[in-house]
Amino acid sequence: MATMNEAATALAAGRRGLGRDLAGLAVILVLAAIGYLLFPNNLALLTRITAIALLVLSLDLVTGYCGVATLGHAALFGSGAYAAGIAAVHFGITDPLLMVAAGILGGALAGLACGIVILRAHGLPQLVLSIALIHLFHEFANKASSWTGGSDGLAGIAPDPLIGLFAFDLWGRTAYVFGVVLLAIVFVLLRLVVRSPFGMLCRGIKEDPIRIRAMGASPTIALLKMYVISGAVAGAGGALNAVSTQVVALDSLSFTLSAESLVMLVLGGTGSLFGALTGTIVFMFFEDLVSAANPFHWLTMVGALLIAVVLFTPKGLYGTVAAILARRRGAGR
């Protein structure tokens, strides 16, 4: 009888998780559709948001779920972008799906390399390692200009039509749909991963690595694995960027992009995939809005937004809303 209860509770909990996955998927698709209807003429921006969302999700995996502090996460994104771009330009792999595969591979390898270095320290020194890494990646890409085009950027990426039917055109519909589908797939996979035994292990490591070691698990190996996964996700985002804009440049390996992605993540709320998405959408839209309204002095507005978020929503936008809702529900019970 007791076991049955146990199984029932477990099943209910499992279903609740599954329900939230589906809800999350539905939210993404509905938002994507709304974006398409509201801004049919600005799909390029929406596609860019999708690519950056993949970067921020990937950052959330290591920062939000594992507690790794990094200001160098664009190294993974940029490696994916360059992998896809180099595959297209130098090896003639122009099928968009294969380019994304190349990006995932490139990102995962970069994730492995970065993980090995970054995981050697904690806290502030860790932050510094990540900064050093992103600069090394940037310099390396600048030096290897016969492969990467150096500071002129890697141009001439011409992806084939998607599954031979849909060309990547001026209006960017194909790129947008491609991006949204990619994001939706990644999101669902990540939802599964963060609730899997491995996801649980990583949450444990974030809270108390010594405890995890006493359970006989190696925090370093688990974190390294998460870094590779994170690299694959960021690499997919980079590849999407390469496919949709058909050019890759050094900015995709920059400290600026790394810092921006961290800002977006904290803005939305760390440790939640929804938070990562919220942060990306809000930041990118806000930036687009204010920079179009005043191309000369919009930075002040962005700064004010960040300050306001820290002052009024200390857990990030999504984190704070979620906490309020949870409290409501708690009170209702």
Partner 1 sequence: MKRIILAALAALATSVAAQADTIKVGVVGPFSGPFALQGKNFKAGIDAYMAVNGAKVGDDDIEIIYRDVPQADPAQSKALAQELVVKEGVQYLAGFYFTPDAMAVTPLLEQANVPLVIMNAATSAIVTKSPLVVRTSFTLWQTSTPIAKVAKDAGVSKIISVVSDYGPGVDAENAFKAGFEAVGGEIVEAIRMPLSTNDFSPIMQRIKDSGAEGVFAFLPSGPTTLGFVKAFDENGLKDGGIKFFAPGDLTQESDLPALGDAALGLQTTFHYAVSHDSPENKAFVEAAAKAIGNPAELSFPAVGAYDGMHVIYKMIEATSGEQDAQKAVDAVKGLSWTSPRGPVSIDPESRHITQNIYLREVAKADDGTYYNKEIQTFEKQGDPGLAAVK
Partner 2 sequence: MSAIFEVRNLKRSFGGLAVTNDVSLSMAPGDRVALIGPNGAGKTTFVNLVTGNLKPDAGEVRIGGETVTNVDAIGRVRRGLVRSFQVTRLFQDMTPAEHVALAILQRDGRAGRLFGNFLAMSGVMAEVGSLLGKLGLRDLAHRPVREIAYGQQRLLEIAVALALKPRVLLLDEPAAGVPQSDTGRIEQALADLPDDLAVLMIEHDMDLVFRFAKRVIVLAAGTVIFDGSPADATKDPRVREAYLGSYADAGSAA
Partner 3 sequence: MQTIFSIAVDALAYGMVLFVISIGLSVTLGLMRVVNLAHGAFAMIGGYIASYAARDLGLGYGAAVLIAVFGTIVIAIPIERLLYRRIYGQPELTQVLMTIGITFCIIGIANYVFGPTLKTIPLPPSLEGSADLGFRSIAVHRIFAIVCGLAVAGALWFAIEKTAFGVKLRAAVDNAAMAAALGVRTEVVYAVSFAVAVGLAAFGGVVGAELLPVEPYYALRYMVTFLVVVSVGGAGSIPGALAACLLLGGIDTTGRYLMPEFGEFFFYLAVIAIVCVFPRGLAGRMK
Residues forming the site for partner 2 (CB under 8 A): 2-3, 6-7, 9-11, 13-14, 17, 192-193, 195-198, 200-201, 203-204, 207-208, 210-211, 213-218, 222, 225, 229
CB count in 10 Å sphere of residue 189: 13
* Partner whose footprint covers residue 248, from partner 2, partner 1, partner 3, none (CB < 5 to 8 Å by kind): partner 1
Least distance from C-beta 13 to partner 2, angstroms?
Answer: 5
Q: Where are the alpha helices (DSSP H) in 92-172?
A: 96-118, 123-143, 145-148
Please list every residue from 43 through 72 that binds partner 3, using CB under 8 A.
Answer: 63, 69
Q: How far apart are CA 246 and CA 290, in angstroms?
A: 26
Task: Choose, by CB under 8 A, the member of 267, 273, 281, 282 that binds partner 3.
Answer: 267
* Site for partner 3 contains 125 (CB under 8 A): yes
* Site for partner 3 contains 302 (CB under 8 A): yes
* Partner whose footprint covers residue 120, from partner 2, partner 1, partner 3, none (CB < 5 to 8 Å by kind): partner 3
Nearer to partner 2, 143 or 213 (CB): 213
Please list every residue from 177 through 196 that binds partner 3, using CB under 8 A.
Answer: none
Contacts of 256 (CB under 8 A, 6+ apart): none
Which CA distances in Å does 175 have to 183, 276, 280?
12, 22, 18
Q: How far apart are CA 77 and CA 256, in angstroms?
A: 13
Nearer to partner 1, 17 or 153 (CB): 153
Among 86, 88, 112, residue whose Cα is nearest residue 234: 112
* Partner whose footprint covers residue 241, from partner 3, partner 1, partner 2, none (CB < 5 to 8 Å by kind): partner 1
Q: Which stretch binds partner 3 (CB under 8 A): 24-32, 74-82, 96-104, 303-311?
A: 303-311
83 SS3 class:
helix
Q: How far apart are CA 259 and CA 73, in angstroms?
A: 8
Least distance from C-beta 233 to partner 2, angstroms?
Answer: 13
Token pair listed for 225: 């694995």
